[in-house]
Structure 1
């Protein structure tokens, strides 16, 4: 008999870690990425407004944890509507909000799979979502993870929704030149999935700052050091500009690439030796990703103008230098597949995933707003917000 209950850190930590280890069996001969949560199984969701972790336990006298699932709830933008009460053209577009739940970290021990435990964990988590007013639930998984796709889209009633790109770039031994201006303000509510509690994200101790890039010679790029505020900036923006924020994942979890051949390891080490010996060449080197490493995550990427992609590239250079000082192995981000600024984000294809898969499900029968309809059937936009608290 399997019982699903809330995670108790005082007695469940060892069992959860054991399940994580038993699930770390990647495809033979293929590179696999594994996550070490540094002794805190809820570290990736505890910064969310509302979160829960469940475990599945079997046995009568000798109890054993055989599965777990994490989930969180927040309020996000899910579209736009016209506000006919305002006469100004700039005020006619207002965001639509919905209470959205996210399923993260579903694990079932290999010895207990195909027994309905994963399905039971998902349904129990969804029940908690609905009890707390969530109107939609979504998950992110890999296209190649057919077992996960089948569980959610087949048994649990989710539908394929968005296919963003995960872009990963190594942190090299050398620095990059970048021109940027720093600000703590953020105004990007028109982006899909943008959280209503954005201030909580930006003011979190793991957020390393929000940065804006502008062309040299513009009134904002004169080097005066003054910042007029986001409202003034957006009212009188330069011809081109870009913005991004940086989140420190290094202190929450470590990653490790496994399954690499000896040849791959030798090539990777050779690039580091050359980069260290001849730093003036600034040759790209592969960090030691076959050992546990940390990462910084870039989020809230946006911008406008014909040179916006170039501005984003400059910001990525600054973010790279932050990651280098922080001792990280890679710099990562996730953007919509249709995001035009993607061409300005440096990344290695071998480390990246061009089509991550997000699946979504409506938890209730009522519409949140007549102007919205059913969000699950809405066409993808050019920009999505990937919450760093859930990456």
Structure 2
């Protein structure tokens, strides 16, 4: 491909020579998980760390080559990350499901799914076809590795990105979940004493998720790898006070066989050790107001002032995923778990806690967040790459109706 001023070559990322340049490109593009937050840097000089925990991953860079072979100059002007995993795309009725008393009468239908993230093109080289070339090369790798679908997430109002994928690359709008972001205050969030919160072991958490949530869209088949990852800080279950305790808990199997009327669950992922964010473009007045709220909150924490943390410098976050539960009090139990997660993030020095849920998720009513920091529609676009299915058939997933919930993989946030 020849662009204005030279030829563009797409190649695999080389950590030995590309880290510093790619990190600088990431800063200049100022893109983060939602439009209000900008990615500051991947930590440890490892730009590929955001996909390294996936089963299969690749990072490509676009390099502008100017001049002749004996005097050529090379400049990295774009990059893209991609990963592949197996997820739930639907469900089917088990053979004995109609007569079974077990609530899990449906079985998940899996597909091999690819995910594109971190597409960046230098501001001075946009609208020259570099982004399109990067996407096409990444899709070639997806197909070579048997991916059946590819999807991306972008802000709904990011028109250049939406047009690239929907108009030029053949993607269609698929789901529009919300990213909900809550600041971490200087004071601890009180948690009702009517709820007991129990931390599960990774194997116990896996059992709970597979039994209750394996038919949820985008549920990762390798959930055990997620839960055993060093970045996973734990899975926590909220139950009514007096029904269970850490000492009386006998595992998820017994719990699900004799559930309380209401309960809730979530897991916490440590993004703080992977990348950092910062809010840019704030006025001095806004920064001064934020600082004042922090000073008041620290001086009189019993007032529980909703203080604004230092978001105008690089800060870390914890991501909440695997939210679920049942019963008339499940929303209140989710709120208690979010308070627990807030206090954990405070102890770890994070600036915010974030989660991503379907717009139709009933439990989102229990998730505290600030609208100014959140993203109402994180648009997911999808493309069918293959005509085959690895486990059962749901037809063309790209044309399916959305379910009530989605399972957001923390490795891709």
Q: Does 1:88 align with 2:100?
A: yes
Q: 1:35 aligns with which of 31, 40, 43?
A: 40
Bigger mean CA offset, 274-283 vs 338-347: 274-283
Instruction: Kindly state the Cα deviation for residue 88 of structure 1 after the two structures are TM-superposed.
Output: 2.3
Question: Matched residue of 2:27: which SS?
Answer: helix
Q: Does 1:345 align with 2:367?
A: yes
Q: Does 1:173 align with 2:172?
A: no
Retained in 1: the 8 A contact 2:37–2:373? no
Distance 1:385 1:89 in 2: 25
Q: 1:141 aligns with which of 135, 139, 154?
A: 154
Q: 1:216 aligns with which of 241, 244, 255?
A: 241
Q: 2:81 matched to which residue of 1?
A: 70
Retained in 1: the 8 A contact 2:109–2:215? no
Instruction: Kindly state the Cα deviation for residue 85 of structure 1 after the two structures are TM-superposed.
Output: 5.0
Distance 1:88 1:170 in 2: 45
Could you report, residue by residue, the CA deviation over 1:68-112 in whole angstroms, capped at 9, with x for unpaired residues? 000000001111101225652435310000000000000011111
Q: Does 1:207 align with 2:232?
A: yes
Q: 1:268 matched to which residue of 2?
A: 290
Q: 1:308 matched to which residue of 2?
A: 330
Q: 1:117 matched to which residue of 2?
A: 130
Instruction: Kindly state the Cα deviation for residue 366 of structure 1 after the two structures are TM-superposed.
Output: 3.1
Q: 1:151 matched to which residue of 2?
A: 164
Q: Does 1:258 align with 2:280?
A: yes
For the structure 1 residues 328 and 224, does the alpha-carbon distance in structure 2 shift closer, same or farther, using more than 3 Å as the test?
A: closer
Distance 1:126 1:143 in 2: 22
Q: 1:104 matched to which residue of 2?
A: 117
Distance 1:25 1:195 in 2: 26
Question: Matched residue of 2:90: which SS?
Answer: strand
Question: Matched residue of 2:137: which SS?
Answer: helix
Q: 1:6 aligns with which of 2, 5, 12?
A: 12
Instruction: Kindly state the Cα deviation for residue 224 of structure 1 after the two structures are TM-superposed.
Output: 5.6
Structure 2 unaligned segments of length 5 or more: list them.
1-6, 67-71
Q: 2:200 matched to which residue of 1?
A: 183
Question: Matched residue of 1:386: which SS?
Answer: coil
Instruction: Kindly state the Cα deviation for residue 369 of structure 1 after the two structures are TM-superposed.
Output: 5.8
Instruction: Kindly state the Cα deviation for residue 365 of structure 1 after the two structures are TM-superposed.
Output: 2.6
For the structure 1 residues 307 and 109, does the alpha-carbon distance in structure 2 shift closer, same or farther, using more than 3 Å as the test?
A: same
Retained in 1: the 8 A contact 2:31–2:39? no
Distance 1:212 1:25 in 2: 34
Question: Matched residue of 2:398: which SS?
Answer: helix
Retained in 1: the 8 A contact 2:36–2:374? no
Question: Matched residue of 1:44: which SS?
Answer: coil
Could you report, residue by residue, the CA deviation over 1:355-382 in whole angstroms, capped at 9, with x for unpaired residues? 1100011001335566401111111111
Q: Does 1:79 align with 2:90?
A: yes
Distance 1:370 1:253 in 2: 38
Retained in 2: the 8 A contact 1:31–1:260? no
Structure 1 unaligned segments of length 5 or more: list them.
none
Q: 2:173 matched to which residue of 1?
A: 160
Retained in 1: the 8 A contact 2:30–2:40? no
Distance 1:207 1:246 in 2: 6
Q: 2:56 matched to which residue of 1?
A: 50
RMSD: 1.7
Q: 1:376 matched to which residue of 2?
A: 398
Q: After the TM superposition, list the runs of 4 or more consecutive aligned residues in structure 1 that deviate by more than 6 angstroms.
A: none
Instruction: Kindly state the Cα deviation for residue 48 of structure 1 after the two structures are TM-superposed.
Output: 0.4
For the structure 1 residues 98 and 370, does the alpha-carbon distance in structure 2 shift closer, same or farther, using more than 3 Å as the test?
A: closer
Distance 2:91 2:101 in 1: 14
Retained in 1: the 8 A contact 2:79–2:118? yes
Q: TM-score, normalised by structure 2?
A: 0.90
Instruction: Kindly state the Cα deviation for residue 12 of structure 1 after the two structures are TM-superposed.
Output: 1.2
Instruction: Kindly state the Cα deviation for residue 217 of structure 1 after the two structures are TM-superposed.
Output: 2.8
Q: How many residues align?
A: 385
